[in-house]
C-alpha cells in the first residue's frame, strides 16, 4: 500500500513538473511574440519617421494629372497622352473637368468647346483654333485614337484659362485655373511630404530648406502643399514661413446688385420705341425693349432707329440696364422649320450669334433676352446648343444672357421644346413666364396665372429641373383675360390690362376671393353670354411675388409695361426688398 502511494505521488510530482515546463514554454513564446511585435512597431515607426530621408515611396508609373492641386488621375476615363511635347486630354475627360457641353460638330468635322467667356472650334486636320471668332495658329490639332477623341489641351490654355506644366521627371502634369487664388510659402527645414496626417503615412516627396511650395490649405498643425515635382501632400505647418499670395482670386461682378426688377417694353416690329423721356419707373433696374426679331428668312432684324436710340439713352441715364428681347415670333409664325434650320446648323447659329454680338456692341447694350417660342420638340437640344454658344460670346464683352421659358408641363412646341436644366445652367438667367396658364388657344375658361399653378411649376424648376434659385427670374402678368361662353357653349377670350379691368367689370358684379388661386373671381351675364374673369390686381401679384422671397429667386419680370396700374411699382419694390 505504501509503495502504491509512493508511486502515485511520484506520478503527480512528475505531472506537475511537466505542466510547469509547458507553462514556461508558453510564457516564453508569448514573451518572444511580444518582443518581436514591439521591434516590428519600432521598425515601422523609424521607417515612417526617417526612411523618407533617403527614399521616395511614391513613384508614378503613368502620367498623373493634378488639377487645381487635386490629383484626379484615378478619375480619368483615358490616360493623358504626351506626344512631341504636346499634352492631349480625351474629350470625355475634358467634359468631366472643363466643359460638360463639349460637342462634336460632325457637319463641320470639328469639336466645339465652351468655357466661361470663350467658345472655340478645333478640327482634325489643320493646326488652327478659332476662339471667339478669331483664328489662331497652334502646333497640333484634335486626333482620334482607338475611337477616342483627344484634344491638344496644352495648345488650348487660352480657352480654359489655365496654366499647364509638364513635369517629366515625376510624370506629373499640372493644370491651374488662372481665376483661383494661389499662395506659396518657404520651407524652413528639410522634411518629408506625406500622403496624409496619420501617424504612419506614405512619403510622396521630399522638400529642402529654402524650397518654395504651393500652399493648398492648413488645418490642425499641418499644411497641404504642392511641391515643384507636382506632388500633393502634408507637412507640419511649423516648417513653413513667409506665406505670400502669388495670384488673387478673380470674382465675377454681378451686373445688377440685389434682386432683378425687369419689365418688358413691347412695341412689335412694326411700331417705334416709346418715348419715355422725363419719366422713371420706381424700383426697376432692367428694361427689355422689343428691338430684335428673326424675319421670315431667319435673318436678324432690328427695330431701333432714332427713337430706339433715345430709349437706350433714357434707360442708361436713369441707371437701368438694357436687355433687349430677341424674338423668333415672325419666323415661328411663318414656319417651325425656319427656327429649326438655324438651330440645327452650326454655321447658321454662329452667324446669328455674330449678328447679336455686333448689335450689342453697336448700341452699347447690357444684355440680351432670348424669347424663342413655337419650336420643335426634337430641336430642344439644339436650342440649348445655341444658348451654350451664345453666352460666352456675350460674357466676353460683359453682357448678360437671359432666356424665356414656359412652365414645364405643356405642348410639344410650347413647353417640351425647352431643356430647362441646361438652359438654366448655361445662361446667366432663366425667365419663367408664369402666365397663360389658360391662354388664347384654350377651349376652357380659366385663370391667367393662379398662385397654386405658379408655385407648383416653380417647384418643378427648382426640384425636378434642378435650377439654382439665384438664376430664376419669375415673370408675372400685368393682364388677365375676359372669357365669353355663348349659348352654344363656345368659349373665346380677349386680354385686358390690369389698369382697364375695373372699367370692364360691371358695378353690380360680385367679386369672390379664391384662396387657392389667390385671386378675385367675377362671373356675370352679358345678354345671353356668360362672362368670367380671374382678376390680376395688387393682391394676386403680391401672393406671386412672395414666392421670390420664399425661394430666394433672382428677381421678377413683368409683362408688359403700360398694362399696369400706377401702384404696382411700389408693391414690387416693397416685396423685393423683403
Cell numbers describing residue 31: 514573451
Report how far residue 389's alpha carbon sits from residue 118's, in angstroms, rounded to the nearest whole number: 9
Q: What are phi and psi of 92, to 5 degrees?
A: -60, -35
Report how far residue 574's alpha carbon sits from residue 248's, in angstroms, rounded to the nearest whole number: 38
Report how far residue 305's alpha carbon sits from residue 274's, in angstroms, rounded to the nearest whole number: 12
Phi-psi group of 85: left, alpha or beta (phi > 0 → left; psi -120 to 50 → alpha; rest → beta):
left
Task: Catalogue the active-site residues.
Answer: 373
Q: Which residues contact 454 (CB under 8 A, 6 or more apart)?
A: 434, 437, 474, 544, 547
Report how far residue 558's alpha carbon sits from residue 287's, in angstroms, rounded to the nearest whole number: 10
Instruction: Please give the span between the terminal C-alpha atoms of the chain, in angstroms, as a whole number.
Output: 110
DSSP H stretches of helix in 321-436: 329-334, 336-343, 346-362, 380-396, 420-426
Identify the three-state secondary structure at position 46.
helix
Closest CA to 163 of 152, 173, 176: 176
Q: Which residues does residue 87 pair with via DSSP β-bridges, in sequence order?
A: 82
| Dihedral angle, C-alpha 337, 343, 345, 349, nearest 10 ° | 130
Residue 434 contacts residue 421 (beta carbons within 8 Å): no
Report how far residue 2's alpha carbon sits from residue 330's, in angstroms, rounded to the nearest whole number: 130
What string of H, E and C letters represents the secondary structure of 493-553? Answer: EEEEEHHHHHHHCCCCCCEEEECCCCEEEEEEEECCEEEEEEECCHHHHHHHHHHHHHCCC
Report how far residue 138's alpha carbon sits from residue 160's, in angstroms, rounded to the nearest whole number: 15
Q: What are phi and psi of 221, to 5 degrees?
A: 85, 0
Amino acid at each position: 500500500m505504501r509503495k502504491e502511494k509512493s508511486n502515485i505521488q511520484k506520478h503527480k510530482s512528475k505531472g506537475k513538473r511537466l505542466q510547469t515546463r509547458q507553462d514556461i514554454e508558453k510564457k516564453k513564446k508569448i514573451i518572444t511574440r511580444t518582443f518581436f511585435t514591439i521591434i516590428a512597431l519600432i521598425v515601422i515607426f523609424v521607417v515612417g519617421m526617417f526612411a523618407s530621408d533617403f527614399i521616395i515611396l511614391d513613384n508614378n508609373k503613368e502620367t498623373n494629372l493634378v488639377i487645381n492641386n487635386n490629383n484626379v488621375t484615378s478619375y480619368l476615363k483615358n490616360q493623358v497622352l504626351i506626344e512631341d511635347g504636346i499634352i492631349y486630354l480625351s474629350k470625355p475627360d475634358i467634359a468631366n473637368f472643363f466643359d460638360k457641353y463639349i460637342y462634336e460638330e460632325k457637319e463641320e468635322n470639328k469639336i466645339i468647346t465652351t468655357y466661361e467667356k470663350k467658345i472655340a472650334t478645333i478640327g482634325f486636320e489643320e493646326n488652327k483654333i478659332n476662339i471667339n471668332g478669331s483664328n489662331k495658329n497652334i502646333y497640333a490639332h484634335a486626333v482620334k485614337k482607338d475611337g477616342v477623341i483627344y484634344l491638344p489641351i496644352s495648345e488650348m490654355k487660352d480657352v480654359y484659362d489655365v496654366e499647364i506644366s509638364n513635369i517629366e521627371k515625376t510624370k506629373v502634369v499640372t493644370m491651374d485655373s488662372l481665376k483661383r487664388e494661389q499662395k506659396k510659402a518657404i520651407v524652413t527645414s528639410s522634411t518629408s511630404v506625406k500622403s496624409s496626417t496619420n501617424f504612419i503615412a506614405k512619403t510622396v516627396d521630399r522638400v529642402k530648406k529654402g524650397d518654395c511650395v504651393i500652399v493648398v490649405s492648413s488645418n490642425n498643425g499641418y499644411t497641404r502643399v504642392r511641391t515643384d515635382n507636382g506632388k500633393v501632400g502634408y507637412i507640419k505647418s511649423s516648417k513653413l514661413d513667409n506665406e505670400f499670395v502669388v495670384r488673387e482670386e478673380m470674382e465675377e461682378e454681378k451686373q445688377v446688385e440685389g434682386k432683378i426688377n425687369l419689365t418688358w417694353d413691347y412695341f412689335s416690329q412694326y411700331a417705334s420705341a416709346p418715348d419715355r423721356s422725363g419719366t422713371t419707373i420706381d424700383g426697376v433696374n432692367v428694361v427689355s425693349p422689343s428691338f430684335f426679331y428673326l424675319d421670315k428668312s431667319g435673318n436678324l432684324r432690328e427695330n431701333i432707329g432714332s427713337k430706339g436710340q433715345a430709349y437706350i439713352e433714357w434707360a442708361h441715364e436713369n441707371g437701368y440696364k438694357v436687355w433687349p428681347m430677341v424674338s423668333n415670333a415672325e419666323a415661328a409664325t411663318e414656319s417651325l422649320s425656319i427656327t429649326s434650320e438655324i438651330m440645327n446648323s452650326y454655321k447658321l447659329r454662329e452667324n446669328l450669334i455674330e449678328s447679336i454680338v455686333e448689335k450689342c456692341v453697336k448700341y452699347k447694350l447690357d444684355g440680351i433676352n432670348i424669347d424663342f417660342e413655337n419650336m420643335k420638340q426634337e430641336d430642344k437640344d439644339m436650342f440649348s446648343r445655341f444658348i451654350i454658344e451664345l453666352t460666352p460670346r456675350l460674357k466676353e464683352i460683359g453682357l448678360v444672357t437671359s432666356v424665356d421659358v414656359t412652365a414645364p408641363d405643356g405642348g410639344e412646341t410650347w413647353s417640351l421644346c425647352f431643356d430647362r436644366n441646361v438652359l438654366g445652367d448655361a445662361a446667366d438667367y432663366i425667365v419663367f413666364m408664369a402666365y397663360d396658364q389658360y391662354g388664347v388657344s384654350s377651349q376652357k375658361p380659366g385663370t391667367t396665372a393662379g398662385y397654386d399653378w405658379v408655385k407648383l411649376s416653380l417647384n418643378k424648376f427648382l426640384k425636378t429641373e434642378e435650377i439654382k434659385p439665384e438664376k430664376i427670374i419669375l415673370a408675372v402678368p400685368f393682364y388677365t383675360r375676359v372669357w365669353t361662353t355663348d349659348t352654344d357653349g363656345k368659349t373665346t377670350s380677349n386680354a385686358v390690362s390690369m389698369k382697364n379691368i375695373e372699367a370692364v367689370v360691371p358695378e353690380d358684379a360680385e367679386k369672390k376671393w379664391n384662396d387657392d388661386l389667390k385671386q378675385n373671381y367675377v362671373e356675370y351675364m352679358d345678354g345671353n353670354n356668360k362672362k368670367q374673369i380671374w382678376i390680376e390686381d395688387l393682391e394676386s401679384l403680391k401672393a406671386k411675388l412672395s414666392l421670390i422671397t420664399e425661394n430666394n429667386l433672382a428677381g421678377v419680370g413683368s409683362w408688359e409695361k403700360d398694362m399696369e396700374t400706377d401702384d404696382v411699382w411700389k408693391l414690387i419694390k416693397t416685396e423685393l426688398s423683403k
